[in-house]
Amino acid sequence: MRTPLVLGNWKMHGSQAFARALAEAVRARAEAFPGVELGVCPPYVMLPIVAKALDGSRVALGAQNVSEFGEGAYTGEISAGMLKDLGCTHVLVGHFERRQIFAESPVQVVQKLVAAHTAGLVPVLCVGETLAERQAGTTSRVIEAQLQPLLGHPEAAALLVGAIIAYEPVWAIGTGETASPAQAQAVHQDIRKLVAGRAPEAARSLRILYGGSVKPGNATELFAMPDIDGGLIGGAALKAEDFCAIAEAAASKRS
Ligand code: PEP
Angstrom distance (rounded) from CA 60 to CA 250: 16
Residue whose CA is at the smallest distance from ligand 1 atom 2 = 234
Is 131 in the same domain as 76?
A: yes
Which protein residues are within 6 Å of ligand 1, measured from CB?
9, 168, 173-174, 211-214, 232-236
**Quick check: 254 pLDDT over 70?**
no
CA of 156 to the centre of ligand 1 (A): 27
Is 145 in the same domain as 29?
A: no
Is 84 in the same domain as 166?
A: yes
- For residue 85, the enclosing domain spans 65-210
Is 197 in the same domain as 111?
A: yes
pLDDT band per the 50, 70, 90 thresholds, residue 1: confident
151 three-state secondary structure:
helix
CATH number at residue 71: 3.20.20.70
* pLDDT computed for residue 218 by the predictor: 97
Q: Is 95 a catalytic residue?
A: yes
CA of 201 to the centre of ligand 1 (A): 29
**Quick check: 255 pLDDT over 80?**
no
From 68, 97, 104, 168, the catalytic residue: 168
Is 124 in the same domain as 201?
A: yes
Is 118 in the same domain as 31?
A: no
From 37, 68, 95, 104, the catalytic residue: 95
- Backbone torsions φ then ψ of 63, nearest 5 degrees: -115, 165
Angstrom distance (rounded) from CA 160 to CA 39: 20
pLDDT per residue as tens digits for the range 148-204: 999 999 999 999 999 999 999 999 999 999 999 999 999 999 999 999 999 999 999
Is 92 in the same domain as 198?
A: yes
Dihedral angle sign, alpha carbons of residues 104, 105, 109, 111? negative
H-only helix segments in the chain: 16-30, 47-54, 80-85, 96-101, 106-118, 131-135, 139-151, 156-160, 181-198, 200-205, 216-223, 240-254
pLDDT band per the 50, 70, 90 thresholds, residue 253: confident
Overall number of domains in the chain: 2
Identify which of 10, 93, 232 to mutate to test ligand 1's pocket (most ligand atoms within 8 A of the CB): 232
Among the three residues 13, 41, 61, which one is the final residue of a domain in this structure?
61
